[in-house]
Every structure is written in C-alpha cells, then in structure tokens.
Amino acid sequence: MDLSGKTALITGGTHGLGGTIATELHAAGANVLITGIEDEAGKALAGTLGERAAYHRMDLSRDGDIDAALADCRDRFGKLDIIVHNACSYLDSGLSTAREDWLTSLNINVVGASVLVDKARPMLTAPGGVVVLIGSVSGKSGNHSRGPYSVSKAAIAQLAKLMAVQLGTDGIRALTVSPGWTWTPPMEAMTDGDRDIADKAGAKVNLLGRVGRQKEVANAVVFAASDAASWVTGCDIPVDGGFTTLASDQGLGPRHWCSVIASEQS
C-alpha cells in the first residue's frame, strides 16, 4: 500500500484517531495536510512528521476556511489525491439535544464534508482520487444516549454512496471506514486511562475480545486510499472486531460496560 507521490488532506487530523490516520498515511509515503481547529496540536504533529507534512487550520463550518485550506494544499503540494473526513462534533444529548447543537453537529459532521469534497472536486486527481469518510458502528443501530452523533454517522454512509455515484464518472472513489469501540481519547476518559477495563468491556460485545486500536483503523484507511483498493467504492469497510455481527451491547454503549467491569473489579 504505497502512497508515494500522493497527497492527502485529513480533517480533524490534529490528534487521536485523526492524528494516527495522518501518521499512517505519511508513513505510507503520502504528503499530508493536517487540518482541524486545535492549532498547537496540529502544528506539533506536522512538526513531528517533518518533511511532506503541514498543518492548516480549517473549521468545516466556514467556507472561507475550506477555500484557504485547499489553496494551501495546492500551493504546497501541487495536487490532491486523497480526502479523509475524520472531523466530528460530539455535541450530543440524545433526543434532548438543543436545536443549535443539532445544527452544529450536522454542519460539521455531514454538511462540511460535502462542501469540502465539492470544492475540492476540481483539484482531485481524476481518475484515481478517493474520498474516505469515517463512519461508526453508532450509525448502524439505535443508542440510549446518543442523537446527533449517531444520526450524522448514518448520514455519512449515505453521503459516501452519493459521492461514489456523482464522482465515479470522473474515476474518483468514495467510501466509509467505520470503527467500532476503539481505544481513543473519549474511551480513555471514560475509563480513567485504564485500557484493561476497556478491553474487558470490549470482550462483552466484540467477537475478537477487546477494543480496537487506532492504528488498526488507520491501516484500513490507508488501504482504502491506496491503489490496492482501486475497485472499491460506494461501500463501507467495518473495522469493529465483529461488533456489528454480534450486536449484543443492548444499545448501552462503552461507558456502561466499562463501568460494569470497573465495579466488578472494585
């Protein structure tokens, strides 16, 4: 999965899963433009990666930011082959979510991705370009506590199909990569940094008996973005340890099951 000579733009790429995706794309040989709104983290990651990496602030709710980031990508690297949409708003109170938070979440998670890809279309390598949208198992089933997050992830799956149809005539692919429970900053926070609790909770709901690792998700993104996946478009690649096959978490989510494990150990 050699990405040498290709250029990737990653939204929400400053840290966590997005940062790992940026790191693995870079390791595969791609130029990477890391975008997001956490400037210090983004600049630090780009500095760590060094050559072929840069950071540009981009708030997906602002068209001007999108235009500026794409111009920076063109000026720095001269091309754009890969877009990975990982940015996500976590404003979410289930059905009780305020209208403003609903609109903010959908604007960033779904609308921002659509606007970015539409604006980037003239730049995207055709044929051969690819758009990878990060989905989630949360968009595939109901959930007791989540609203905008799950709804937006379900919408992203449909958005990928829309992009696959409308960009396919140019030879540009579009698809989703959908992680399951993964050891990321939100899960670290809900377990006080105890990965053993997370893995034991994951064993309750995943066929492979643990939670995923960020690099495992990033590896799937690298594959999706590579020429090895040249005949893959309009679909979802689940990276969930069998979660969507087992579907036995009763819609309670990782916070519940991690707390159960913690209680059993205390």
Using DSSP, state whether 208 is helix, strand or coil: coil
- Find out whether 76 and 55 touch, Cβ atoms under 8 Å: no
206 contacts 168 by C-beta, under 8 angstroms: no
Interhelix angle 253-265/195-205, nearest 10 degrees? 120
Cα–Cα distance measured from residue 132 to residue 203, given in angstroms and rounded to the nearest whole number: 28
CA gap 242, 260 in Å, rounded:
21
Distance CA 85, CA 125 (A): 17
Other Cβ atoms within 10 Å of 212 Cβ, number: 24
Question: What is each CA distance from 202 to 41, 157, 227, in whole angstroms?
Answer: 29, 24, 32
> Cα(258)–Cα(181) distance, rounded to whole angstroms?
11
Active-site residues, by number, are 149
DSSP sequence for 66-87 = HHHHHHHHHHHHS-B-EEEE--
